[in-house]
Structure 1
């Protein structure tokens, strides 16, 4: 279960990189129909870093992954709402991530 969670969240984190790549025109992302500002692109990168950092803390057994994970979800969801037409399905992994973080409080 631990490995599956880590893989799932790593993939979700990597998807955040698409917003950064689109904003800085480092890749032609056909799935994003609307332009992404450079400022938003930086936040997509920050969200990626937070998700990956939370996964690494989780794998290391450090409980700080919970707070970092919730911060990542918050930023991610704000970005998703701002790009709803292109990114709405990112809400699903955010909900799953939040549930798993809430279960970690046991």
Structure 2
């Protein structure tokens, strides 16, 4: 059950990062500011990849999710006024991953 909730959290956070890809530039609707937009899209892909690896029971999904959360936090800090609430999701993701990596009993929660 927790595996599916965490999968949904990773996918949701990745989808939210797509909003950074499609940003209004100079008053135009849905224009793409390429440089930062590419970083937001790459972070979204990392979250999607980590969710896919989690669903496929791959053992390295946690490292990809940790990389996604840390790069997400760097992006959020660059757009703090608009994206500061993403920090809450990043903290939840990082703490869950650290619990899974360093507590022996925790991975049992993520089995089917």
CA RMSD in angstroms comes to 2.0
Counterpart position of 2:30: 27
Deviation, 1:23, is: 6.5
Deviations 1:29-65 (A, max 9, x none): xxxxxxx842111000000000010011011111111
Using structure 2 for the length normalisation, give the TM-score.
0.80
Structure 1 residue runs without a partner (length 5+): 29-35
The answer on whether the counterparts of 1:13 and 1:52 sit within 8 Å (CA) in structure 2 is yes
Count of aligned positions = 99
Structure 2 residue runs without a partner (length 5+): 105-112
Using structure 1 for the length normalisation, give the TM-score.
0.84
Structure 1's 101 and 77: CA in aligned 2 closer, same or farther, altered over 3 A?
same
Counterpart position of 2:40: 44
